[in-house]
Structure 1
């Protein structure tokens, strides 16, 4: 069953036509032979932001990253003009098609390069298809600063257990980070006044809809509105999100009001899009167990091994390709299923259980371990009486691991902003190790409740070994606007500034024993200053807060 992990949600049908027989199939391909793409030209299928991240963390670009071979797709579509491609996966080398005439299936199966077909849905796609391209919604930025005297209101309960407010106080609120949110819809998000600062500041980078024949992602379901509000809100005195200065990209991968296996394929496609645009964090408050509308696609809890479900495979790959993947564990704790859902069983992700602000585990929170015995959920956060914004603009409390996930996703973005030297997998491990049950995990809390501020303190010191004898000092450090370097040697001083990706940000020279540099226009984070005086060179770590 597909789950939108909010409890008490009343769902009603909106005209979908479903049946038990399949007309949508996942086609597994055997190769990418004769591809027009090359790993030597990644700019043809990855954004510059994604390429920079691969370079930064030495993540290779391999044949797995090449798009599905279009020649195979053309051969499949040639059987019938009514065949439609609904999704592709370069990582799994699959094509998901709508094929209303089953007489074509043997021919497709026998195509060179086709391994096998798996039925994934029965779907009435007679409605006209809409053009489905990413929508760039980024306006001119008009930044508003509310941080001089911010009041978290009741939402402090969602921060205090993780000491996330202290991370914010250090200046790490998600600036420069990109969070991809997967969901079923964002009803009214574009018109609710609470969210207008996000549009005014250019923080909504775009949207994409993998579900055919639906209008804007800002219609169809309210789940994404509530989930995103927990990360992105800037409502002083009432609700401050866990990453209010981050950027967001909304991807609809979930079919509203229906439960079919194809939704896992849409999840895979969403993960690949997040990778392609260079997202830093994925938040997915979605999960899959059984599929009442397509029972032949059912798996069991014994299949929750991180490798059987296609969404789990993709989640693991995304975590290894430089994305912090945060997934709600599920609300099956009081059901017959009980265990976590997919893709919370994936390997290199943070699956998140739910508790109250008083650290009492929620009775509905899905428990672990994974089918192969790994600790699940990974960690736990507030998902019981969690403050959020509804589709009507009201601020209220709600329950579900859908709400504990975005608390963690937002704080993970802030922590990564503070610790950019860590890879995605290292960052996720730091979060686990900062949790209160790390040395004694259990099936309900996993590794426990992470202390994000302690994770920051433990990993932002002693990153570099400095020379025993130094000739240069820098003050103030941490710095807000201007920093001054002082030399004890009477020789010309040369300074080159780098960000943590190694990008050269500029050079300065001075014949005097002091040199001041303005960092006012630089984003918050960690920088390296290479200071050369005669034959002496020192590296100084700078922190801008």
Structure 2
């Protein structure tokens, strides 16, 4: 995303959390102050408070995973965006008033024209047990905060919510507002690309896939205190990574509706065709979300998936996933079967795509033929 030039410039993001202690003293956030990128702040917990840079470092960590710019330690995905910072969570107690704080913060952010909300919060149990939710209440319609998230989505705001960290306890499932409709709930994976044990699972009470997407959430490097980075685990820290991706896509596609943005993120998931209630639709991918993907084919002899993207091709660079070698040959045929060009391709490793310049290619339908030392495949390409 950064290689394509997108860092969130011109996009307005709101982060609702428990506090942003130290943000005003950590150099990784200096660019936010120097560039006037903190558009607004609001403390909805402490009456009379004029600062959000207090109370807790949880929000500091989530903000760092979207906005930190420290080339030696952490460059976050959306460091170029503008931010609204709101304290809605009271770390000293747990009551439903915090859900109403969230709704008020959403109204405040909406009044400023917010594009994306990141919410690394979750509610199920309260200090007053009569306020508790049951798993049956996670139906996308019951919890106060869930209703607020639904309203935000209906108003054209993309809401990204942490799925919850209940995977290792008897509750196991998501917490509100991750059950909301029209949002993206984000689970956590570990370094083996497997579900982190703590990550809450789905489905919602009305049997929708939850979480929708996942990102790395186990031992995540972030900024919380002055002087050095630290690591932390939780869906609180996987959600802002997906939110940062959404912000970059919003910058690149300002005409997309929030629903289109959500749909493209989900369609880009690594297991979109076979979703489950642990990883949802999988790990999102910027290039696939940005350009889409058509004409995937399977080589019947080698059972090797070949994918080319963006397809339709609207830019100059074509990316190719093919075979298990680090080099291959490519022939490009016109629709009438004539060879237009031949290329010897190389890549850094088998997990990297081949990159081919198509700058001089005229609009039309083409056939791409690929061959390495063990595999052959043909794929249609549409150049717009």
Q: Where in structure 2 are the equivalents of 1:184-203 lying within 5 Å?
A: 184-203=18-37
Q: Between Structure 1 and Structure 2, whose CA radius of gyration is higher?
A: 1
Q: Deviations over 1:164-196 (max 9, x none)?
A: xxx111111100001100011011111222211
Partners of 2:44 and 2:113 in 1: how far apart? Answer: 18
| Residues 49-76 of structure 1: CA deviation (Å, up to 9, x unaligned) | xxxxxxxxxxxxxxxxxxxxxxxxxxxx
> How far apart, in 1, do the equivalents of 2:244 and 2:40 lie?
18
Cα distance in 2, alignment partners of residues 314 and 234 from structure 1: 31
- Say whether residues 1:385 and 2:219 are aligned partners: yes
Question: Does residue 242 in structure 1 map to residue 77 in structure 2?
Answer: yes
CA distance in 2, matches of 1:193, 1:214: 28
Instruction: Tell me which of 201, 213, 221 is aligned to 2:56.
Output: 221
Does residue 413 (structure 1) correspond to residue 247 (structure 2)? The answer is yes
Please give the alpha-carbon distance, in whole angstroms, between the structure 2 residues aligned to 1:422 and 1:176: 14
RMSD, aligned CA? 1.9
Secondary structure class of the residue paired with 2:14: strand
1:328 aligns with 2:159: no
Contact 1:187-1:225 within 8 A present in 2 as well: yes
- How far apart, CA to CA, are the structure 2 residues paired with 1:340 and 1:212? 28
Aligned partners of 1:187 and 1:218 also within 8 Å: yes
Q: CA deviation at 1:357?
A: 3.4
CA offsets 1:301-349 (integer angstroms, 9 cap, x no match): 1100010011111111211211111000000000111100000000010
SS of 1:366's equivalent in the other structure is: coil
Correspondences of 1:116-515 after superposition (within 5 Å)? 167-213=1-47, 215=49, 216-291=51-126, 293-458=127-292
User: What secondary structure sits across from 1:312 in the alignment?
Assistant: helix
Native 8 Å contact 2:269 2:285 kept in 1: yes
8 Å contact from structure 1 (residues 194, 393) kept in 2? no
Q: CA deviation at 1:411?
A: 0.9
Residue 285 of structure 1, CA deviation? 0.2
Give the match for residue 337 of structure 2.
none
Number of residues paired by the alignment? Answer: 300
Mean Cα deviation higher: 261-270 or 173-182: 261-270
What secondary structure sits across from 1:361 in the alignment?
coil
Q: Is the 8 A contact 2:63 2:240 kept in 1?
A: yes
Q: Go from structure 1 to structure 2 and tell me whether the alpha carbon gap of 1:229 and 1:214 turns closer, same or farther (over 3 Å shift).
A: farther
Alignment check: 8 A CA contact 1:305 1:345 kept: yes
Rounded to whole Å, the distance in 2 between the matches of 1:194 and 1:417 is 22
**In structure 1, what is the equivalent of residue 336 of structure 2?**
none
**Structure 1 spans left out of the alignment, 5+ residues:** 1-166, 465-475, 479-545
Question: Per-residue CA shift, 1:415-441, capped at 9, x if unaligned?
Answer: 111122210011101111110111211
Please tell me whether the aligned partners of residues 167 and 200 of structure 2 are also in contact (alpha carbons under 8 angstroms): yes
Query: Is the 1:320–1:425 contact (alpha carbons within 8 Å) kept by the matching residues of 2?
Result: no
1:211-239 Cα distance to aligned partner (Å, 9 max, x none): 13364211111111111001101101310
**Residues 377 and 445, structure 1, Cα contact 8 Å, conserved in 2:** yes
Cα distance, 1:358 vs. partner?
Answer: 3.0
TM-score (norm: length of structure 1)? 0.53
- How does the TM-score come out when normalised to structure 2? 0.75
DSSP-derived class of the 1:169 partner: coil
Q: Is the 8 A contact 1:383 1:401 kept in 2?
A: yes
**CA displacement, residues 502-528 of structure 1 (integer Å, 9 cap, x when unaligned):** xxxxxxxxxxxxxxxxxxxxxxxxxxx
